[in-house]
Amino acid sequence: MRCPYCQSEDTQVKDSRPTEDGAVIRRRRICPVCGGRFTTFERVQLRELMVIKKSGKSLPFDRDKLMKSVEVALRKREVDPERVERAVSGIVRQLESSGEAEIPTEEIGRLVMEALKGIDDIAYIRFASVYRNFRTASDFHDVIDEISEREPEKKKED
């Protein structure tokens, strides 16, 4: 890990512990060159995942890209960032534990839709409009009807 102060490659870990959710490791580091102290947060990656696009092109999985797409769907919605982080971590864990090294974009989209369904209806509709490639207003009506059918179930839970 490179020192943020002097750019030395030779930093030392002084303390290491998992965060509360266990998905990230917090490490306190010190640079022997300049004496600078800093913290890093490192994510455990179980396996290298490849994303298979509709065109057939294969790209390395990018957690940050997944997070950005979820955040775009949730833009201007009041949702706890910790809840979003847990949802994205859950999606990544599902992908890593699937046993597949190559994941089609459709599967990732399906998992995101499932997660958004439990977080925010508007974000779900926004993501669905892109994921399902909406062409007409009736496509929006179909998804809204789908959400409306779930409403009695949600009220029973409350």
Q: What is the pLDDT of residue 44?
A: 65
Whole-structure pTM value? 0.65
Block means of pLDDT (10 residues each) for the chain, length 158 residues?
91 88 84 94 76 94 94 94 92 88 93 93 90 84 83 54
Domain limits of the chain? 12-43, 50-157
Q: What is the pLDDT of residue 152?
A: 57
Q: What is the pLDDT of residue 110?
A: 93
Q: What is the pLDDT of residue 79?
A: 94
Which residue shows structure tokens 């925010």?
120
| Beta strands, E only, 2-158 | 12-18, 24-30, 37-43, 50-52, 58-60, 102-104
Query: Token pair for residue 156?
Result: 């029973």
Q: What is the pLDDT of residue 1?
A: 83
Q: What is the pLDDT of residue 100?
A: 87
* Burial state string for 122-153 with b = 16 or more CB within 10 A and e = fewer than 16: bbbbbbbeebeeeeeeeeeeebeeeeeeeeee
The DSSP call for residue 5 is T
Percent of the chain topping pLDDT 70: 91
